[in-house]
Structure 1
Amino acid sequence: MISSAAVLLGEQGAGATSIDRVLAHSGAPRGSVYHHFPDGRAQLIDEAVVFAGDVMATRIAAAARAGDPVAAIDAFFALWRDRLAGSGFRAGCPIVAAAVAADEEGPRWADSAATVFVRWQETLCDLLVAGGLPQPRGRRLAAFIIGAVEGAVVMCRAERSLAPLDAAAVEIHDLLVHALPGRSEPAAEAGDASRS
């Protein structure tokens, strides 16, 4: 149910992620909702936000283990590229969906979303610092990267095109190549983002 709620959050937003839709998507029996989520829909969505945040943090950390910050960030963009293309531009970020709906029914969703974004930024910052950047710049770049990815995903969904994500991927790749000590490679061309 949590996984289904995360998928539905990303595709339809918090307002449309009802208990009935989660049950239909997951195939879970209705009684299990009240057993596992005594606070109902608000608790289910909150736990889906935490779950989705954990999944992405694990993927970022796995890419980071290779030790190459540029390759790890390229992989982060590639993940979103695959998700968008594979879903026909329906897939979006459940964290963003919860954050923008937080004032409607679940004020705690904003806190959960903020916690997830901070965790992602810390993971990326650690990766950039390990690559040779000073911590203040690593922290700023990590926030910038998360913001760029999330904004590009929204634009891709609206335009039904990968162009915004590809543009952001190329620019951030080149920025990192020039910012990280000891890196040097030619600037990417605008159509090269699919290499990531």
Structure 2
Amino acid sequence: MAPPQKHKIAIVETAMNLFRKNGYAATGLNAIVEASGAPKGSVYHYFPKGKASIAEAAVLLAGERTAATLDALCTKTGSTGEAITGHAKLLVQWMKKSGFRDGCPITTTLLELAPADRAVTAAGRNAYTQRIDRLARRLVEDGFDPSRARNLATLCTSALQGALIQSRIERSGRALLVTAQELAALLDNETDDHNAIAGP
């Protein structure tokens, strides 16, 4: 009888949390099993290739959750700039709650495994693509050309990711909030310029 699916979810979620706090190399397989509460046999059942395949699943899950958060923010806010600012505020709350010990599980894992591990690298590429795609769609809704929207979405994603690392180092949310505010201002100004050129 195969282990329940809940064990797989528990293993991936536990790995995601441990990777964001300790990094990939410093997180042992036994630590993942113990913290998840899953039987050790379920690890080998779902992840026969070991910790690297757990890392792949953790990056994919983190990417899906981030994309879902952005999707919700883009849906309920008035502009991409507002969505980015809202996302930054959520990140600051989350980091403060952990005492700035937690980082991004995608970044911490990719910095150690990419590009050598192709599967994890592909998972990371997928995670970032989802995020950029969602922001780009919202920017198109704001009136940007699709090509420009994608470039700006890439800029916003990269800037926030760098600010997340800086905030962890400084143990302060300032870098995230300032970066989000400046990105929002950039997007608003470019939207205003576009509308002025387009005319009534």
**Normalising by structure 2, what TM-score?**
0.85
Aligned equivalent of 2:49: 39
Aligned equivalent of 2:96: 85
Aligned equivalent of 1:186: none
* CA distance, structure 2, for counterparts of residue 8 and residue 112 of structure 1: 18
- 2:28 aligned with 1:12, yes or no? no
**Where does structure 2 lack aligned partners over 5 or more consecutive residues?**
1-10, 195-200
Q: Determine which of 139, 142, 159 is the counterpart of 1:148.
A: 159
Aligned residues of 1:10 and 1:94 also touching (Cα < 8 A): yes
* Bigger Cα Rg: 2
Aligned equivalent of 1:133: 144
- 2:33 aligned with 1:23, yes or no? yes
Aligned residues of 2:167 and 2:173 also touching (Cα < 8 A): yes
1:1-196 pair list within 5 angstroms? 1-66=11-76, 68=78, 69-103=80-114, 106-181=117-192
Q: Which AA in structure 1 matches 2:92?
A: R
Listed one character per residue, the Cα deviations across residues 163-183 of structure 1 (whole Å, up to 9, x for unaligned) are: 211211221121122122499
Q: Which AA in structure 2 matches 1:140?
A: N
**Normalising by structure 1, what TM-score?**
0.86
Instruction: Name the structure where helix makes up a greater proportion of residues.
Output: 2
Q: Which runs of 4+ in 1 moved over 4 A?
A: none
* CA distance, structure 1, for counterparts of residue 70 and residue 35 of structure 2: 27
Q: Which AA in structure 1 matches 2:32?
A: V
Aligned residues of 1:132 and 1:181 also touching (Cα < 8 A): no
Aligned residues of 1:133 and 1:181 also touching (Cα < 8 A): no
User: Which range moves more in the overlay, 119-128 or 21-30?
Assistant: 21-30
Q: Which AA in structure 2 matches 1:134?
A: D
Q: Which AA in structure 2 matches 1:136?
A: S
Deviation at 1:108, TM superposition (A): 2.1
Q: CA RMSD in A?
A: 2.0
Q: Which AA in structure 2 matches 1:144?
A: L
User: Which range moves more in the overlay, 101-110 or 129-138?
Assistant: 101-110
Q: Which AA in structure 2 matches 1:18?
A: G
The number of aligned residues is: 184
**Where does structure 1 lack aligned partners over 5 or more consecutive residues?**
184-196
Aligned-pair identity in percent equals 30
User: Which range moves more in the overlay, 64-73 or 118-127?
Assistant: 64-73
* CA distance, structure 2, for counterparts of residue 182 and residue 95 of structure 1: 35
Q: Which AA in structure 1 matches 2:71?
A: A
Aligned residues of 1:6 and 1:49 also touching (Cα < 8 A): yes
* CA distance, structure 1, for counterparts of residue 125 and residue 158 of structure 2: 13
